[in-house]
Amino acid sequence: MTDIAARNRTIKTNLEQVFGRGKVTVSGARGTAYGYVTVRIDHTPLDWEQAGTLKGKLKQRMRDAGINLGFAYTDDTCERTTDQCRIEFNHCRYRFTTRTGDNVWGCRFEDDKYELVEGAA
């Protein structure tokens, strides 16, 4: 077993503790992208903001567990780096949400009409 395969198994085990068994799929890239990993999670975030926040928390959880996510340069000058892990969720329920008092209003992707989001407060 290679180091990449062991890392991918560790990622899957770590994230299944949060989302449950069978909800996490981990696949590694082949060829020139060797070492990159895509994590697909069967979870539907409320909106894009929640998805971004959750991705950050999950990556921090993996780093805290000692999982090496690698690094790659994001520009030609080699000044910025990112990890080699991409986390994907199901499509968000709303494009964005707005909080007013105790209510949360969501704007769906199909139209620009707002609706009250039940149970999201």
78 and 119 both lie in a single domain: no
pLDDT at 79: 74
Question: What is the C-alpha radius of gyration for the chain, rounded to an integer number of angstroms?
Answer: 17
- Run means of pLDDT, 10 residues per run, the chain, 121 residues: 82 93 89 81 89 92 90 75 87 78 70 62 46
Q: Report how far apart, in Å, the C-alpha atoms of 84 and of each of 28, 57, 58, 98, 109 are.
A: 10, 16, 14, 32, 29
86 and 103, same domain (yes or no)? no
- The pTM of the full predicted model, rounded to 2 decimals, is 0.77
- Do 18 and 70 belong together in one domain? yes
Same domain, 101 and 85: no
Range of the domain at 121: 93-121
Q: What's the total number of domains in the chain? A: 2
Q: Are 54 and 101 found together in one domain?
A: no
**What CATH number did the domain enclosing 19 receive?**
3.30.300
